[in-house]
Amino acid sequence: MTKKQKKVLYRIIIAAVLLAAFMLAPIEEKRIRFVLFLIPYAVIGYDILRKAVLGIVHGEVFDENFLMAVATIGAICLGDYAEGVAVMLFYQIGELFQSYAVGKSRKNISALMDIRPDYANIENDGKLEQVDPDDVETGTVIVVQPGEKVPIDGVVTEGKSTLNTSALTGESVPREVQEGDEIISGCVNLSGLLKIRTTKEFGESTVSKILDLVENSSMKKSRSENFITRFAKYYTPAVCYSALALAVLPTVINLIMGNSAEFGKWIERALTFLVISCPCALVISIPLSFFGGIGGASARGILVKGSSYLELLSQSKYIVFDKTGTLTEGVFKVTDIRPQNMEERELLYYAAYAESYSTHPISKSLKEAYAEKIDNTRVTDVEEISGHGVSAMVDGHQVYAGNGKLMKRIEIQADMPEKAGTVIHVAVDGRYAGYILISDVIKKNSKAAIQGLKEAGVKKTVMLTGDAKKVADSVAAELGVDEVHSELLPADKVEKIEELIAMKGAKEKLAFVGDGINDAPALTRADLGIAIGAGTDIAIESADIVLMKGDLLDVSTAIQLSKSVIRNIKQNLFWAFIYNIIGIPVAAGLFYLPFGLKLNPMIGAFAMSFSSVFVVSNALRLRWFKAKHTSHENTDMEFRQENDKKENKGASQMEKVLNIEGMVCMNCVKHVEKALRELAGISEVTVSLAEKSARIQLNGDVSDAMLKEAVEDAGYQLISIQ
């Protein structure tokens, strides 16, 4: 609890004790009772009375403070001292619960505010000088000591350390940084001293943009919030005028009919009507749920720019993805090596050395896969053949490395890979040596994220990419994406989104998920833009939701959370309206004559307070929201298991290695692989031309004789089985 909340709690306790004591005290004198009950009333209600007066002064008369003031003062004037105090007491209890709930939800959001840096260190004549981050120019070298916040985005020029990024990403695992690494503002330096060359001004840094996002998120209200605001604007005056009519009209009618006026009775009913009609639960039902949802999202590294976007997210039935950098790593790596008449390492050696002088990303991928220092003295006569590849002398051997066109140019027959990707064919001394496949690696959680979206009720997942059709189709098939469009320019992506928007239902929304760099037009055009990546400028500016951890699983997490928020709102509204539908007629006395039912102000205040407490407690449940498929440890394990399935035997499977003679090319490999796959009881087959072997996984009863027969029928000789 905050100091303010604790103060209210103490007031509630003191007022409750005094109220109970004075109710039990045998005091009959009205004046003395009046003075005594004014003490707990002043203790518990002075702030409400003050707000009511200020509201009248500023022209904002009809609010819950005015209702409480009129109801309690009216009860006291009628001699119901205990009831007047009790009404205010129950109201304050409800307000305390509401304040506590808001504070808990705000805690996750306000934690972001702690990332605001107070200063930046600049080194002058060997001494550190603290300056305002706004005064630091781009390109300035700043010093961040252990325990300090990184004030401005930049690149590490000196030092090595670990950074706490939890305030930005929600991740508790520290990030290792060293010279040359880019770091963003808002992180906390945990260990070593860092020198950072700033790449942005403070106002353009990540921390500033995020803080601006959070501070302005409440301005973008949902349609539901706006409706309740408009409703309350008319509801409260209507309640006040109805209470006045309830107090006056029956009395006037009684006088006209010659009956007793019963003014006191109808005043009491009017006061009870005022109390029970207080729109507290109704007014807070929607904003508190949205606030809890935004706070819960922030704790998970999901920044939502306003409640309206949570509402749109809950209605999203079409999720469109960019491929490169979103579904895939956006970094090309060697994914397959298929040598002929040499070992894999030897093939990679020739390719890496031939490409050693090139700065092309493909060349970089080859050198990274080789992972050894390249001795350039071994390479001579390097020639880049535009659009084809390179030729070079490596250790005295003539090496060609490039695409299929290069192999045709030198009149060498090359194998065609089955998998999609960029193929580097290698020829050594006029003979085909094999190929190396380079492809964009799929992110470890992409497949689980697509599955999670389908489980969350998404109707269709779509992938848009500028890559070739074969590559795009391969990635989409592996991930389980429903629809794919390839070979698109940025403008083409927007057109495809327009087409999809035209096809969807009126109440269905389309969300686009991109990396926030080259996808700004698509992020802006979609009903909802979701940016992947930790705080890039375009991500924060163009998207409606930013996933700070860059984890695709957070897309399904956000959708599930948004739907929980909407369910929570519906539950709160149901309770608030049912409470009013039942309570208001009883308070007005409509059920007194037929059923003898009536309420006094104290019971009405208790019912009103209970309604607020229920709504608040229900909204608080969002703090413990848990999404499916969000355990990073589990998904990492699943990813590894899935990738290793083809290579490692499972607990319930048996592995055998077949040594085979007669295989001389990749076609031979295909023949053997096909023959073995046709046998029932074999789950996986991996044939190696270099090792002259086939590794198989058995999930059924397959005899050695059956294996031998299958290999020999294919035209090859089975030497042994291990």
Annotated catalytic residues are 322
d(CA 536, CA 529) in angstroms, rounded, equals 14
Considering only CA atoms, give the Rg of the chain: 36
N- to C-terminal Cα distance for the chain? Answer: 69
Q: How far is the CA of 27 from the CAs of 39, 312, 493, in angstroms?
A: 15, 61, 81
DSSP states of 324-346: IIIIEEEEEEEEEEEESSS-HHH
d(CA 559, CA 511) in angstroms, rounded, equals 11
CB atoms within 10 A of CB 334: 21
d(CA 239, CA 711) in angstroms, rounded, equals 89
Burial of residue 299 (number of CB atoms within 10 Å: 0-12, 13-18, 19+): middle
CB atoms within 10 A of CB 213: 19
- At 166, list the tokens: 């939890």
Strand-pair category, 141-144 with 120-124: antiparallel
Q: What is the three-class DSSP state of 689? A: coil
> Please, are residues 689 and 665 in contact by the beta-carbon 8 Å criterion?
yes
**Nearest-5° Cα angle at 190, 189 to 193:** 65
d(CA 232, CA 238) in angstroms, rounded, equals 10
Q: How far is the CA of 675 from the CAs of 640, 670, 710, 712, in angstroms?
A: 28, 9, 6, 9
**Which strands form 328-339's sheet, in the order they lie side by side?**
328-339, 431-442, 422-428, 397-402, 389-394, 379-385
Q: How far is the CA of 408 from the CAs of 322, 400, 414, 427, 668, in angstroms?
A: 34, 12, 8, 11, 22
